[in-house]
Every structure is written in C-alpha cells, then in structure tokens.
Amino acid sequence: MGRRFGVRQLYMFTVGWEELPKSWSVYGTDSSERLVEPVPMVLLETVDGWFLLDTGFNKVLIENRELYRRFHSRFHMIKPILPKYNEDPLIDAINKVGLGAKDISGVAISHLHNDHSGGIRHFAGGTPIFIQKQELEFGLGDQVKCESDGYARVDYDDPSVNWIQLEGDGRVAPGVEAIFTPGHTPGHMSFVVHFDGEESSGLVFAFDAGDLHENFDDEVAIGGFIDVEPRQTVEQIVKLKQISKSYNYQLIPGHDPTVWPGANENLMRKVH
C-alpha cells in the first residue's frame, strides 16, 4: 500500500465559550438547564501548508457595546465569552505554534454563525476560504432573517474574500474532506481528517451537526436548526456516525465541554 499524504499535525483550540440553554444543543431539553460550551477551531498541517477549520468570534462584536446589543444581547439567551488574549483569540492561538495569519494557506468554514465566522476578516484579500454555496447564498440573503438566526453579516460580507464555493461533499485540503450536513444551517458542513502515513487513522469533526456526545450516543436532534424539522438533523447525525464507523475514526462533537481542551491545553495530535 502506498503512502497516504494526509494531515501531519493537528491542533484543537478553544477560542471562546458560550453560556447557553442546553436546549440549543439537545432538542426538547428544559431551557432552564444551561451549559458553558467551548467555541472550536482546528489547525492542520498538510503537505500543502497550514489550514484552518472555522475561526471563532469577532471580538469587536462582543466588546463594542452597540455591536454587542445588535448581534448578541437578544439572541436566544446565548452569552458569548472571550478568552484572555493579547491580540485576538484566533491570532493568539496560532501564534502558540509559531504561526501568523499570513502562514495559513486555506480556511474552511463549517457555517456562517457568528461563533464560527468571526475570524474570516484575518484572511480577506486572497487566502482561499471554502464554504458551501448554499450557506453563502443564505448568509448574503435576507439580512433581518440572518441576524435573527445568529449570523453577523459584517463578518463575511467582504468583496475581497476569496470564496471557494462547494456544492456537496468535496476535498478542501490534502487529507481533509468536507461533508455536506445541512440542517443546523442551510449549508452546514462537517469534516473528515485523514492523518499522514499508511496507517488508517483520523478524526471526524461534526461541528454543529451535533454539539454533544449525547446527540450521537442517543441519536437525538440538535436544538438549533433553520427551515427544517428536528428529525432532519438526526439524519446528519446518523450520516456522520456511519462515516466514522466506515473509517474507524473517532467522531468529535462540535461543542462538547468534555472533548475540546481548554485554552492552554491545545495540542491534540502530532503525526510524525
């Protein structure tokens, strides 16, 4: 069997948190039960360079009083929390492994909610940014509806962004596959990561197709979805479980507090 050129290094970062009703993650849960869930970002080294999956919050929309009131204060009782930072949560995270924004060769965005797209601004002007066509069309559509659904158009409505639009599943980098998993948002996508070498090893990142282990263990619907019935989100959960089983890869839920390491415990795997 020939050598597979996949992901050489992988870092899982927590670039913020959200205090929110558990019912946002698990459909039908008592809304008085609240969780503090991590905001995820994944940094990958491939044969073609460094690649990011998602970008966290835009700190300005949290720290500016008027912008906070517009984009966060009225949204489904979700409270955004930033980590302590020097320059910016995203930049500080990649600085820890000796990188800056200019060292990132590509980015893939699972979806355009404000806790995933807030760092796109760092890569405007040329860096390829992968997105589902359906997600971008929704995000650039009815602004009132988008904001009511947790989108901050200011994060991504920039003509200098080099969008690479996908329609369904596709490869976004060596060893990294995008999996179309709509439901949470119209163009949500998850990712399969294959590690470098001959051994069959890797990870499946659900992102918001399933927030918690509970969604996958019990095949229970997520609580946040746009223009679908709750049961349709379970179809994506089952799909990802099947992919995970077919590769024998660990499946990582999108916001599970027991899975994502803390801000100072970022190294997930180094493949050498």
Measured torsion, CA atoms of residues 193, 191, 86, 98, in degrees rounded to the nearest 10: 20
- Mean pLDDT over 136-165 rounds to 96
The pLDDT score that the predictor gives to residue 3 is 52
- DSSP codes of every residue in the chain: -PPP--BSEEEEEEEEEEEEEGGGTSTT--TT-EEEEEEEEEEEEETTEEEEE-----HHHHHSHHHHHHHTTTSTT-EEEPPP-SS-HHHHHHHTTT--GGGEEEEE-S--BTTTSTTGGGGTTTSEEEEEHHHHHHHTS-HHHHHHTTB-GGGT--TT-EEEEESSSEEEETTEEEEE--SSSTT-EEEEEEBSSSS--EEEEEETT--SHHHHHTT---S--SSS-HHHHHHHHHHHHHHHHHHT-EEEESS-TTTSPPTT--EEEE--
What proportion of the chain, given as a percentage, has pLDDT over 70?
93
The pLDDT score that the predictor gives to residue 264 is 38
On whether the CB atoms of residues 222 and 234 are closer than 8 A, the answer is no
| Burial (CB count <10 Å: 0-12, 13-18, 19+), residue 165 | middle
Question: What are 183-239's pLDDT values in tens digits?
Answer: 999 999 999 999 998 677 999 999 999 999 999 999 999 999 999 999 999 999 999
Residue type, 202: G
CATH superfamily of 9-265: Ribonuclease Z/Hydroxyacylglutathione hydrolase-like (3.60.15.10)
Statement: residue 267 has pLDDT above 70: no
The pLDDT score that the predictor gives to residue 4 is 65
- Split at pLDDT 50, 70, 90, the class of 75 is confident
The pLDDT score that the predictor gives to residue 263 is 37
- Mean pLDDT over 13-22 rounds to 96
Question: What are 44-57's pLDDT values in tens digits?
Answer: 999 999 999 999 99
- Beta-carbon count within 10 A of 197 CB: 15
Could you state, in order of their start, the residue ranges of all structural domains in the chain? 9-265
Question: What are 76-121's pLDDT values in tens digits?
Answer: 689 999 999 999 999 999 999 999 999 999 999 999 999 999 999 9
The pLDDT score that the predictor gives to residue 265 is 46
Query: Which of the residue ranges 21-25, 34-38, 260-264 would you say has the lowest mean pLDDT?
Result: 260-264
The pLDDT score that the predictor gives to residue 198 is 60
Residue type, 43: L
- Split at pLDDT 50, 70, 90, the class of 42 is very high
- Mean pLDDT over 58-83 rounds to 92
- Mean pLDDT over 40-68 rounds to 97
